[in-house]
Amino acid sequence: MGRLSLAERISALDRPEEIEEVEAIWHSIRPILAVSRIVLVILIILVGEMFDDEYINGLTVGLWAIVIGIPMFILISFALIFGDRFDSQEEENAS
């Protein structure tokens, strides 16, 4: 089979995609979650370095950043993994 011509590709852009609302919502939320993981790691490092001498309840703020930040990172990662699995199952069920 040959490749699509330019006119066919342009006309394909005019047709709406046939995706469900759940898929559209997931495709909007997923990049936010991915970027938030990166920002979270950067914030953990910055807070750990900037507030190394400050103490809260006997622990440094840097240690608290790690104690709170790593579980948050894991939760966001699980949300991404399970969301992708749910999205792929929806695609398999639709086909």
pLDDT per residue as tens, the chain (95 positions):
568 788 888 887 777 777 778 888 888 999 999 999 999 999 999 998 998 888 989 989 999 999 999 999 999 999 999 988 887 776 667 66
User: Which structure tokens are listed for 28?
Assistant: 């909007």
pTM of this structure: 0.72
**Do 73 and 37 form a contact (C-beta atoms < 8 A)?**
yes
Q: Which of 18, 37, 24, 21 is nearest to 81 (CA)?
A: 37
